[in-house]
C-alpha cells in the first residue's frame, strides 16, 4: 500500500513560505557541509537545473532518512527487517534484472518455479495428478496476490453462471470485518460486493456460523470456514470456494502447528496467498499466490504473450518487476529448510508468550491475543481502566486521539501501534506488538522496561499535563502534503487494518 501524494501548487507554497530559494553567490568549499547544496533547500518540488555531486546527493538524502524510525524497533509491522549478508549480496547482484524478461533471465524464472513448487507442497497442494497440478505466481506482495485471487474467483463464478443462463450481476465476497484493507480495495476495484461478518466484544475473528448465513447464489468465495460450507454444499449442491489469506500465517502455521488443517488439505480451499516479506523472512516486495489447480484459474485471465523472443503466460497486475526478491525468497527457503523455519518460528512464538505474561504480570493490561502458537507471534493488549487513570484515549471521547502510552514509547524509539478494533467493535482500543525474527529475549525485556517507565511517568501526570503532551505530539509536519485532496474522506466500513 502506497500513499497518494499531492503536487503542491506554487501559490500554496508561497503562502506557506516553502518556495525553494534562489542560488547564492557565496563561495563554498567542496566538503558536503561546506558546499552550496548544504546552504540551500534540498529540491522538493521541482527538478533542479544543475547536477549535484553523487556524494552530496547521497549524504543529504541519508541525513533525511535518518529521521525515520529504526526498522528493528518498529513493532507495528510484520514486514521483515533483517536478512543475512549473503541474501543481501544476492539481491544487490541481481537488482538490475527485470523478472519479466524470461528469455534473457531464464534462471530467474526457474528459481520462481522452484519457489512455487516448494510453497505449494508446504501448503499440501495435491501433487498426485499430472492433469490437475497446482499453479502459482510471485507477486509484489499479498495485496497483489489477493487481487489476483479475487479476480479468479469472480471470473470462475461468472463462467459457471453464464453456463446455466443465469445473471452475473452483483457478485459478493464474504469475509470478516477485521480483514486487511486490501480485501476491501479488491472488492471495490473489481466490482464485487463486500459482505462482512462483523466483530463484537469478545469475538474478534470471523464467526463461521454467521459467515455461512451470508452465503447466497451470488457468493464468489469466502475467506476461511470449511465444514459448514461442506454441509451447505450437501444440502444445496452449490460449492463455495475458500480463499485463505495466509499473508502472515502461511510461513508460521506449518512449523508451529503442523497438524492444523487450514491449507489445501481442506477440500474447499482453492487458493492461498502468502507474503514472502513477512514471516517468509524476505525484505518487502515479494508475495505468492497459489491455486489448487489450473481449474480454478480461468484461462481468459491468463495472457499468452510473446515478449522479447519468449512465449510466456502472464497473470499479474503489473508487468516489469525486479528478480532480486524472488531470488531472495529462494535463498531463504533452501538456506533454512524445515528445521530452520521451525527454530525461528518457535523462538518468536515463545518470546510472544513471554511478553504477554510479563505484561499481564504488571496488573495493568488485559491480553487479547492467542498464546501457545494458536495465533500469530504477536501480543495485542489493552489497559485495565480504572477511575484514577488520566491517560490514553478515554479523555477526549473520540475514536482516534493521541494514544498516550504509544506516544511515550515513541520517545524511546519504539513504534507500538495503538488503534481501534474493526467496525462494530471500534469501542475497543488496543496496542499491538508484532514479533519478528530479530525480536530477541533481550529486546523483549528492554521493551517491558520502557513500558513500565512510560507508565510510571504517565501516572505522575495530571489531566492538564496529559492534554498538553497530546497537543505537542501532533503528526510530523512532513506528512502534511500526503493525500490532501482526500483528507477527511472515509470508507464505508471505516477500516483501521491498514498496517502490515
Report the DSSP pairing between strands 287-291 and 303-307.
unpaired
Look up the pTM and report it. 0.87
Using pLDDT thresholds of 50, 70 and 90, give the confidence band for residue 393.
very low
Confidence of residue 391 (pLDDT cuts 50, 70, 90): low
- Give 250 or 392, the one with higher predicted confidence: 250
202-212 residues labelled b (16+ CB within 10 A) or e (exposed) = eebebebebbb
Does residue 469 contact residue 424 with C-beta atoms inside 8 Å? no
pLDDT score at 495: 52
Strands 310-314 and 365-367 turn out to be unpaired
C-alpha cell at 83: 536478512
Highest mean pLDDT among 103-107, 331-335, 405-409, 414-418: 331-335
Q: How far apart are CA 225 and CA 227, in angstroms?
A: 7
The SS3 assignment for 194 reads: strand
Specify the pLDDT at position 486: 57
Q: What is the mean pLDDT of residues 352-373?
A: 95
| Vertex 250 angle, CA 249 and 256, to 5° | 70
pLDDT-based confidence at 186, cuts 50/70/90? very high
Looking at residue 80, what is its pLDDT?
Answer: 96
CB atoms within 10 A of CB 361: 10
* Whole-number pLDDT of residue 31: 85
Q: Which domains does the chain have, with CATH numbers?
A: 26-67 (4.10.280.50), 88-332 (3.40.640.10), 344-486 (3.90.1150.160)
Classified as helix, coil or strand, 255 is helix
> Does an H or E element contain 325, and which?
helix 324-361
Tens of pLDDT, residue by residue over 64-95, are: 999 888 999 999 999 999 999 999 999 999 99
Using CA atoms, how far residue 423 sits from 146, 195, 261, 420, 428, in Å, is 21, 13, 28, 9, 10
Q: What are phi and psi of 194, to 5 degrees?
A: -85, 120
- What pLDDT band is residue 334 in, cutting at 50, 70 and 90? very high
Burial class (CB in 10 A: 0-12, 13-18, 19+), 139: buried
- The CA–CA distances, whole Å, from 458 to 71, 80, 84 equal 26, 32, 39
Contact assessment for residue 152 and residue 297, using Cβ atoms and an 8 Å cutoff? yes
> 290 φ, ψ to 5°?
-125, 130
> What is the DSSP secondary structure assignment for residue 24, as one 8-state letter?
P
Give 390's pLDDT tier (boundaries 50, 70, 90).
low
Amino acid at each position: 500500500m502506497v500513499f497518494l501524494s499531492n503536487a503542491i501548487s506554487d501559490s500554496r507554497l508561497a503562502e506557506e513560505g516553502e518556495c525553494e530559494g534562489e542560488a547564492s553567490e557565496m563561495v563554498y568549499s567542496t566538503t558536503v557541509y561546506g558546499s552550496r547544496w548544504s546552504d540551500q533547500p534540498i529540491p522538493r518540488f521541482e527538478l533542479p537545473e544543475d547536477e549535484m555531486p553523487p556524494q552530496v546527493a547521497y549524504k543529504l538524502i541519508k541525513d533525511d532518512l535518518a529521521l525515520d524510525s529504526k526498522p528493528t524497533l518498529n513493532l507495528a509491522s510484520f514486514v521483515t527487517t533483517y536478512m543475512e549478508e549473503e541474501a543481501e549480496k544476492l539481491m544487490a547482484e541481481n537488482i538490475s534484472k527485470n523478472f519479466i524478461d524470461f528469455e534473457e533471465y531464464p534462471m530467474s524464472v526457474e528459481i520462481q518455479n522452484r519457489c512455487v513448487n516448494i510453497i505449494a507442497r508446504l501448503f499440501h497442494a495435491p501433487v498426485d495428478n499430472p492433469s490437475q497440478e497446482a499453479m502459482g505466481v510471485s507477486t509484489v506482495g499479498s495485496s497483489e496476490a489477493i487481487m489476483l485471487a479475487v479476480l479468479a474467483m469472480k471470473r470462475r463464478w461468472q463462467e459457471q453462471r453464464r453456463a446455466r443462463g443465469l445473471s452475473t450481476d452483483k457478485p459478493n465476497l464474504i469475509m470478516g470485518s477485521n480483514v486487511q484493507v486490501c480485501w476491501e480495495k479488491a472488492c471495490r476495484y473489481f466490482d464485487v460486493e463486500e459482505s462482512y461478518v462483523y466483530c463484537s466484544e469478545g469475538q474478534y475473528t470471523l464467526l463461521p456460523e454467521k459467515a455461512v448465513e451470508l452465503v447466497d447464489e451470488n457468493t464468489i468465495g469466502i475467506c476461511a470456514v470449511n465444514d459448514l460450507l461442506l454441509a451447505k454444499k450437501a444440502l444445496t449442491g452449490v460449492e463455495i470456494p475458500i480463499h485463505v489469506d495466509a499473508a502472515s500465517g502461511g510461513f508460521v502455521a506449518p512449523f508451529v502447528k503442523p497438524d492444523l488443517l487450514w491449507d489445501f488439505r481442506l477440500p474447499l480451499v482453492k487458493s492461498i496467498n502468502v507474503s514472502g516479506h513477512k514471516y517468509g523472512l524476505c525484505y518487502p516486495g515479494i508475495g505468492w499466490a497459489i491455486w489448487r489447480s489450473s481449474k480454478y484459474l480461468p484461462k481468459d485471465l491468463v495472457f499468452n504473450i510473446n515478449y522479447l523472443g519468449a512465449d510466456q503466460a502472464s497473470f499479474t497486475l503489473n508487468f516489469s518487476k525486479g528478480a532480486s526478491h524472488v531470488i531472495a525468497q529462494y535463498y531463504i527457503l533452501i538456506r533454512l529448510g524445515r528445521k530452520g523455519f521451525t527454530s525461528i518460528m518457535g523462538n518468536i512464538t515463545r518470546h510472544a508468550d513471554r511478553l504477554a505474561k510479563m505484561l499481564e504480570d504488571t496488573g495493568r493490561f488485559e491480553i487479547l491475543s492467542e498464546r501457545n502458537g494458536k495465533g500469530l507471534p504477536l501480543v495485542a493488549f489493552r489497559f485495565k481502566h480504572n477511575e484514577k487513570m488520566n491517560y490514553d484515549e478515554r479523555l477526549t471521547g473520540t475514536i482516534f486521539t493521541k494514544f498516550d502510552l504509544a506516544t511515550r514509547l515513541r520517545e524511546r524509539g519504539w513504534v507500538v501501534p495503538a488503534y481501534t478494533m474493526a467496525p462494530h467493535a471500534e469501542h475497543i482500543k488496543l496496542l499491538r506488538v508484532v514479533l519478528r525474527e530479530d525480536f530477541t529475549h533481550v529486546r523483549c525485556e528492554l521493551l517491558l522496561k520502557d513500558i513500565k517507565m512510560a507508565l510510571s511517568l504517565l501516572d505522575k501526570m495530571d489531566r492538564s499535563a496529559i492534554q498538553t503532551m497530546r497537543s505537542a505530539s501532533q503528526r510530523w509536519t512532513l506528512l502534511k502534503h500526503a493525500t490532501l485532496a482526500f483528507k477527511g474522506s472515509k470508507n464505508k466500513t471505516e477500516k483501521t487494518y491498514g498496517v502490515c
